[in-house]
A and B are shown apart, each in its own frame.
Chain A
Amino acid sequence: MRIVLLVLLAALLCVRAAFAIDPTTLPDPQQQARYQKLTHELRCMQCLNQSIADSPVELAGELRNQVREMVVAGKTDDEIRDYMVARYGEFILFRPRFSARNVWLWFGPAIMLVIGAFIAVRIIRQRSKLVEQDNEPLEEEAAGR
């Protein structure tokens, strides 16, 4: 029970009412844009549903500092992401990197569209054959067409 309370306490810290305002402005606008993009892409590992850009906890601030230093030091976006993933795992990326595991997740919608199209065509073919035999009158209500 105590452990449950502790988890809840930790959760309170991450209550989304609190968020971070990050007035960091890097002198180079390109670097600033990269900084913004990266800090929005990285998940706060304590408040798991917020990015480090938005999370109010200190860890997020430290990770933002880390990102800023690396951007200023000239590291590429990929190098920065790799750095974070090496320490925290793939989970730190909000947008999962394309990999064998993710394929079904990313291709899912498109595959479902194709399957859906097949099903629709089959049903419509079936039903359009029945139209001539079907003499059931449509419900003629005032608003019907």
Chain B
Amino acid sequence: MLPELGHFALILALLLAALQAFFGIAGPQLGKDRWIAAVTPAVAGQFVMVATAIGCLVVSFVNLDFSVRYIAENANSALPMGYRIAAVWGAHEGSLLLWIFLLACWTLAVAVGVAKLPKRFGARVLGVLGFVSFAFLLFTLATSNPFLRLDPAAPDGRDLNPLLQDPALAMHPPMLYTGYVGFAVAFAFAGAAMLEGKLDQTWARWTRPWTTAAWAFLSMGIALGSWWAYYELGWGGYWFWDPVENASFMPWLAGTALIHSLAVTDKRGLFKSWTLLLAIIAFSLSLLGTFLVRSGVIVSVHSFASDPTRGIFILAFLVIIIGSALTLYAWRAPLLKSQAGFEFLSRESFLLFNNILLVIALAVVFGGTMAPLIAEALHMPTLSVGTPYFNPSFATPILPLLALVSLGIMSSWKRGRLGERRRTLLVTLGVSIVLALAVSFGVFGGARVLTPVGFTLAFWIILTSLIDPIDRWRRKLSLSRSIVGMTVAHLGLALFVIGITAVESYTNEHDIALSPGQTAKQGGYEFRFAKLEPAEGPNYSGVRAEFIVSRDGVPVFTLNPEKRNYWVQRSVQTEAGIGTHHGTNILIALGEDLGANKWSVRLQLRPLVTYVWIAAFVMALGGGIAASDRRYRVAVRSEASDAVPASEGALDTSKVG
């Protein structure tokens, strides 16, 4: 009963999304106020239907209804309760439904938010969102219905992929998708602006908080995925430039550029066509990422499905959504002009560099990810692109970018006045260099070429970020959330650079063969293989080892790496033993029984790697603080008082209609 109810709810949602899209776009275009008024009820209705649908799926999972094919493929009677819920988004069909549900949530939030904005504009935003919802619902119902029945019902299920039976990874898709889908809001705002034929500073101010919030979620989602990969897979990797990872990173890069570009448009009415294009690109990359994961076209162990029919269907709606947005862009963008000016070393300049460098970084990741695909399409021998390519290529635009962050923070809008701050900049740079060398050689006792560079850049960002806020605080001036948020986010960036520099420079990793009772020495620590005993779990069996980790003879902690055999899914997994001591992350992973009472063991010492993920959360926190600034919530008094002078880019609507 429940699956049928869910299925029916989805169909209703499809119809409501269609209405939302139609009324939202045609209403303002044709001036029909009644249609405009119908949009918000359509949004609410769609939300209720989608919530019902996903609710039905969740309950069916909890009840382990194996007559539903999706549940039989992804759950098992031995699956613990928490993971039954997580299994809802454990594979293709369910994760699509999650996407749709999150889109409905964002749309509802936007409906509340635009209630204070001009009605036609608000309707257009919701209309574009409705269009996207419609496309996704259609795709799901046509090719990926999670409610299909199995006849006869399976006696028991296949079980959730053991990789996914983990708290961090259970939260990763919801967090990530919230980010992906959140960029649809920026996309919708962009679409509404293009449909109106008007894009001004006010538009930028409305768009900023939504975009920043989406970006914050995406940051956390990516960090969760990376953190999970690190401790679950247990072999010390936290980023592999895997196509699916890149698929989430590209929208993030575009989103970061977008946030900064929006700031310029908001403050000075500049970079309008950049901002518009970035808004379209960020969401397009979210969609493209979805496509890459689901179409079997990219070689990646992440891929959910390898069914080309699905791929063609997705490609079709990608072309429709992105194609129409870009065509609209090509039509409207030439009309967006502004007469504002800025000097060479002004904040606008630095944000221009920021935009360009981030776009180059994006192009590098995009090119590297798509290269094998393009080579194949053009009948060329397969290209090999992996970490050895991505690392140096990505660093090429990013290192200059990191250096420019400090300069940009110290510069003023329009007139730069960087000369006045020359002393501050040089002093902070000098201090950073000294600190960097002290950390590299004093604390860690050695360095590779880029190590002091990385530390210098990070410390410089920290110092320059703090100077003005601290100065204002000491003079008892107000500090808006915008400024606080920005500062926190930039500090997060610096923390990230510190973590990466440390872990890439100072990781100590060795594979050895050890017997229970033996001790290995590595990196100043002693590792005693104390014992090995069997370990049982609800859906697995295996062995657990006990390692006593000491430094200079003093025990620090005990780690328990395991090797588990998930009997239903028939896969073997290692659970690494992980602990942190004085900032250094220690991992022990069990390999194989080599016979003769010896086991292969991997010992890794990774300094400051946790900063990488903490930094992402700090950045997200900064984004959240900034997005909650009051200036974004000031209600529009009337269109007339907020009207921007004609020279600032408002179009003469009589010309473009």
- A residues sitting closer than 8 Å to B (CB atoms) are 4, 7-8, 11-12, 14-25, 41, 43, 47-49, 54, 89-96, 101-102, 105-106, 108-110, 112-113, 116, 119-120, 123-124, 127-134, 136, 138-139, 141-145
Q: Is B349 an interface residue (CB 8 A)?
A: yes
Q: Is B572 an interface residue (CB 8 A)?
A: yes
CA distance A128 to B342 in the complex (A): 5
Residue from the set A12, A14, A16, A48 with the largest chain B CB neighbour count within 10 Å: A16
CA distance A123 to B552 in the complex (A): 60
CA distance A101 to B371 in the complex (A): 11
CB contacts (< 8 Å) of A23 on chain B: these are 511-513, 591, 594, 600-601
Q: Is B478 an interface residue (CB 8 A)?
A: yes
CB contacts (< 8 Å) of A132 on chain B: these are 341
Which single residue of chain A is at the shortest CB-CB distance from B570?
A: A12
A138 with B414, Cβ < 8 A, contacts A21-B602, A48-B299, A124-B349 known: yes
CA distance A15 to B267 in the complex (A): 48
Q: Are A143 and B480 in contact (CB under 8 A)?
A: yes
Residue from the set B235, B270, B512 with the largest chain A CB neighbour count within 10 Å: B235
CA distance A24 to B530 in the complex (A): 23
Q: Mark B375-390, 1 if CB is under 8 A from A, else 0.
A: 1000011111111110
Q: Are A143 and B341 in contact (CB under 8 A)?
A: no
Q: Are B631 and A141 in contact (CB under 8 A)?
A: yes
Q: Are A108 and B356 in contact (CB under 8 A)?
A: no
Q: Is B571 an interface residue (CB 8 A)?
A: yes
Q: Is B93 an interface residue (CB 8 A)?
A: no
Q: Mark B276-320, 1 if CB is under 8 A from A, else 0.
A: 000000000000000000000001110100110000000000000
Q: Are A91 and B384 in contact (CB under 8 A)?
A: yes
A131 with B415, Cβ < 8 A, contacts A17-B571, A116-B357, A124-B344 known: yes
CA distance A133 to B483 in the complex (A): 29
A120 with B356, Cβ < 8 A, contacts A16-B301, A128-B341, A133-B339 known: yes
Q: Is B37 an interface residue (CB 8 A)?
A: no
Q: Are B482 and A143 in contact (CB under 8 A)?
A: yes
Residue from the set B299, B389, B569, B648 with the largest chain A CB neighbour count within 10 Å: B389
Q: Are A112 and B233 in contact (CB under 8 A)?
A: no
Q: Is B479 an interface residue (CB 8 A)?
A: yes
Q: Are B511 and A145 in contact (CB under 8 A)?
A: no
Q: Are A131 and B342 in contact (CB under 8 A)?
A: yes
Q: Are A127 and B340 in contact (CB under 8 A)?
A: yes
Please tell me which one of the listed residues B393, B400, B600, B631 contacts residue A21 in the complex, with CB atoms under 8 A apart. Answer: B600
CB contacts (< 8 Å) of A131 on chain B: these are 341-343, 414-415
CB contacts (< 8 Å) of A90 on chain B: these are 381-382, 384
Tell me the minimal C-beta distance from B386 to chain A in angstroms: 4
CB contacts (< 8 Å) of A49 on chain B: these are 240, 242, 299-301, 386
- B residues sitting closer than 8 Å to A (CB atoms) are 161-163, 229, 232-235, 240, 242, 267-268, 270, 299-301, 303, 306-307, 339-344, 348-349, 352-353, 356-357, 359-360, 363-364, 367-368, 371, 375, 380-389, 393-394, 396-397, 400, 412-415, 468, 472, 477-480, 482-483, 511-513, 569, 571-574, 589-592, 594, 600-602, 631, 645, 648
A91 with B382, Cβ < 8 A, contacts A16-B233, A116-B357 known: yes
A141 with B600, Cβ < 8 A, contacts A8-B306, A12-B571, A109-B364 known: no
Q: Are A124 and B393 in contact (CB under 8 A)?
A: no
Q: Are B232 and A95 in contact (CB under 8 A)?
A: no
CA distance A64 to B389 in the complex (A): 23
CA distance A78 to B552 in the complex (A): 42
CA distance A18 to B589 in the complex (A): 11
CA distance A91 to B415 in the complex (A): 52
Question: 6 smallest A-B Cβ distances: which pairs?
Answer: A21-B591, A130-B341, A95-B388, A131-B341, A109-B396, A143-B480
CB contacts (< 8 Å) of A129 on chain B: these are 341
Please tell me which one of the listed residues A12, A101, A113, A136 contacts residue B340 in the complex, with CB atoms under 8 A apart. Answer: A136
Q: Are A127 and B412 in contact (CB under 8 A)?
A: no
Taking A43-B384, A94-B384 as known contacts, 16 extra A-B pairs with beta carbons closer than 8 A to each other, sorted by chain A number, are: A16-B229, A17-B232, A17-B574, A21-B589, A23-B600, A43-B386, A94-B386, A105-B385, A108-B364, A109-B364, A112-B363, A127-B342, A128-B343, A134-B341, A138-B413, A142-B478
CA distance A79 to B644 in the complex (A): 69
Tell me the minimal C-beta distance from B557 to chain A in angstroms: 22
CB contacts (< 8 Å) of A18 on chain B: these are 571-574
Q: Are A15 and B352 in contact (CB under 8 A)?
A: no
Which single residue of chain B is at the shortest CB-CB distance from A51?
A: B386
Q: Are B306 and A96 in contact (CB under 8 A)?
A: no
Q: Are B387 and A19 in contact (CB under 8 A)?
A: no
CB contacts (< 8 Å) of B483 on chain A: these are 143
Q: Are A119 and B356 in contact (CB under 8 A)?
A: yes
Q: Are A110 and B396 in contact (CB under 8 A)?
A: yes
CA distance A20 to B589 in the complex (A): 10
Which single residue of chain A is at the shortest CB-CB distance from B479?
A: A143
CA distance A102 to B574 in the complex (A): 37
20 A-B pairs with C-beta separation under 8 A: A4-B306, A17-B232, A20-B591, A23-B591, A49-B240, A49-B299, A49-B386, A54-B235, A91-B382, A95-B389, A108-B364, A109-B396, A116-B359, A120-B352, A131-B414, A134-B414, A138-B267, A142-B478, A142-B480, A143-B483
Q: Are A144 and B413 in contact (CB under 8 A)?
A: yes
Tell me the minimal C-beta distance from A58 to chain B in angstroms: 12
Q: Are B349 and A96 in contact (CB under 8 A)?
A: no
Tell me the minimal C-beta distance from A68 to chain B in angstroms: 14
Q: Are A89 and B480 in contact (CB under 8 A)?
A: no
Tell me the minimal C-beta distance from B265 to chain A in angstroms: 12
CA distance A131 to B343 in the complex (A): 7
Q: Are B162 and A130 in contact (CB under 8 A)?
A: no
Q: Are A11 and B363 in contact (CB under 8 A)?
A: no
Please tell me which one of the listed residues B381, B388, B480, B569 contacts residue A94 in the complex, with CB atoms under 8 A apart. Answer: B388
Which single residue of chain B is at the shortest CB-CB distance from A142?
A: B478
A101 with B380, Cβ < 8 A, contacts A21-B601, A116-B357 known: yes
CB contacts (< 8 Å) of B648 on chain A: these are 136
Q: Are A113 and B299 in contact (CB under 8 A)?
A: no
